[in-house]
Structure 1
Amino acid sequence: MSRKKKAASAQSTQQLMGIDSLKDYCISTHMGDLVFFIIKPTNISVLPDTSITARIYALLNVMKGLAEVEMLALNSKESFEYNKNFYQERMEQEELPAIGKLLAQDSQHLDRIQVLMASSREFYIVVRLREDQGSDVFPYLSRIEQSINDNGFTTRRATQQDLKRMLGVYFEQNVTTEDFEDFDGDRWVTTKE
C-alpha cells in the first residue's frame, strides 16, 4: 500500500470531509467556521405570481445584505431510485406472473411515497465566519437571523444535532437516525465509575 493510501485510510471521516470539528453552533473547517441557518420552506405552488416575485425580492435583500452568505438546498428524505431500478430489473427477469405483479405493486408503492416526499427539501443559508470576529460572533449571528426573519422568512440557527443530521442526509442519505453519535457505536460503550 502506498504512503498516500495509508495516510488517507488513517484519517477519520471528519478529516476526509474537511471538517476540523463540530461545535454547538457551526462546522469548523480549515477555510473557516460555517454557521447554518435553517429556512422553513414556503409552498410557492399555491402563491400568486405577485407573492412569488415578492419572495424572490426578499431573498435578494437577504443575499445582498450579507457578503459572506451562501445557500444550500438538500433533500431531507431518502431516494428510492436504487430500489425502483432493482424492481424494474427483477420484473424484466421474472417468469412467474404473480411475482411480477407483486414487484409492480411494490414499485408503484415506492412511486407514491416519492411523490408524497417530493417537496421534502431543506434550505440553509450558510455564513462563513471571519477569524477576526472573536467574541462578537453571537451578536453578529443574531443580527443575521433577525435580518432573515425581517425579510419574511422563518429561520433558526442550526444546532449541533441539526448539523449532524444535515451531514448524515447529505453524505449518507440517512434520514432515519434521530440522534447522531460523536463516535460510531458510542451508545454501546459503558464506563465504570
Structure 2
Amino acid sequence: MNRKEKRAAKENQSTRQLMGIAGITDYSLVTGHGRLVFFIIKPTNISVLSDISVAARIYALMNVLKGIAEIEMLCLNSRENFEDNKSFLRRRIEAEQNPVIRKLLQQDLANLDRMQVQMATAREFLIIIRLRDEKESDVLPYLSRIEKSLKDQGFTARRADEADIKRLLGVYYEQNVTTEKYEDYDGERWVILGE
C-alpha cells in the first residue's frame, strides 16, 4: 500500500481498531496482545496513617506483586482536568481591559482551583492481569484466586465488569468522568428496536 491508501485505510478504522481493541467481554478487554482483566483497588488515604501502617500496606502490596508474575499496574485520575480551562482563563485575564470582567474571571479561576483541590483524591488504582493462551475453564478460578489474594492482604478490590472497562477507557483516553453509561455505538440510546 502506498501512503495515500494507508491513510485512507486508517481513516476508515473504528475507534476500537485505532486503539488496538478487538472487543470487550464481561470481564476483560480483548487486544492483539492478550486479554486484559482489571481489578479496581479502592485507594487508602496514607496521609492519615502512621509510618508503621504505611510500611504494612507496602509489605501487603509486595506480597500481592510477588505472587502474580504477569501483573501490571495503572493509576488513573478519575476526575475532571481543569488545566486547559485554567490556562484559557489566565489568558483572558491578561487580555481583559474591563476591571469588573477581570475580577469575575479571577473568581472563576479561583473556583476551578477549589474544585480541583476537592477532587484531588479521586484516583483509581488498577491491577491488570494479561491473559494470553489460558483455557477458558481455567480463567475464572485463576481470577478469583487473584481477587482473594488482594482481599486477604487487606485491599478493597473488585474485578472490573464491562461497564467499568468502558468507563476506564473513557477516563484514560478522553478524561471523561462525567458520562454515566457508555454506549457501544454513537447514538445507541436513541435507537428504538421493534418499531
* TM-score (structure 1 length as normaliser): 0.98
Residue 165 (structure 1) aligns with: 167
State how 1:172-191 maps to structure 2 within 5 Å.
Answer: 172-191=174-193
| Distance of 2:163 and 2:65 partners within structure 1 | 26
Aligned-residue offset at 1:189: 1.5
Note the residue ranges of structure 2 that are not aligned, 5 or more in a row: none
* 1:56 counterpart = 2:58: yes
| Distance of 1:184 and 1:107 partners within structure 2 | 33
State how 1:22-171 maps to structure 2 within 5 Å.
Answer: 22-171=24-173
What residue identity is the alignment partner of 2:179? Answer: T
Aligned-residue offset at 1:188: 1.1
Give the count of matched residue pairs: 193
| Distance of 2:192 and 2:167 partners within structure 1 | 24
Q: Secondary structure at the match of 2:134?
A: helix
Equivalent pair of 2:33/2:132 in contact (CA under 8 Å): no
| Distance of 1:189 and 1:172 partners within structure 2 | 25
Q: Secondary structure at the match of 1:168?
A: helix
Q: Secondary structure at the match of 2:121?
A: coil
Note the residue ranges of structure 1 that are not aligned, 5 or more in a row: none
Equivalent pair of 2:75/2:125 in contact (CA under 8 Å): yes
Aligned-residue offset at 1:138: 0.5
What residue identity is the alignment partner of 1:62? Answer: V
| Distance of 1:145 and 1:183 partners within structure 2 | 31
Equivalent pair of 2:75/2:126 in contact (CA under 8 Å): yes
| Distance of 1:73 and 1:192 partners within structure 2 | 42
- Per-residue CA deviation, residues 124-155 of structure 1 (Å, 9 max, x unaligned), is 00001131332111111000000011011000
- Per-residue CA deviation, residues 146-180 of structure 1 (Å, 9 max, x unaligned), is 00110110000001000000000111111111111
* Percent of pairs with identical residues: 61
Aligned-residue offset at 1:118: 0.7
Aligned-residue offset at 1:19: 0.4
What RMSD over aligned residues (CA atoms) do the two structures have, in Å?
1.0
| Distance of 2:124 and 2:168 partners within structure 1 | 9
- Per-residue CA deviation, residues 99-130 of structure 1 (Å, 9 max, x unaligned), is 00000000000000000011110000000113
What residue identity is the alignment partner of 1:57? Answer: Y
Q: Secondary structure at the match of 1:132?
A: coil
Residue 12 (structure 2) aligns with: 10
- Per-residue CA deviation, residues 55-93 of structure 1 (Å, 9 max, x unaligned), is 011101101100010000000011000000011000000
Q: Secondary structure at the match of 1:139?
A: helix
Q: Secondary structure at the match of 1:163?
A: helix
| Distance of 1:14 and 1:69 partners within structure 2 | 24
| Distance of 1:82 and 1:156 partners within structure 2 | 33
Aligned-residue offset at 1:191: 2.7
* TM-score (structure 2 length as normaliser): 0.97
| Distance of 1:183 and 1:121 partners within structure 2 | 28
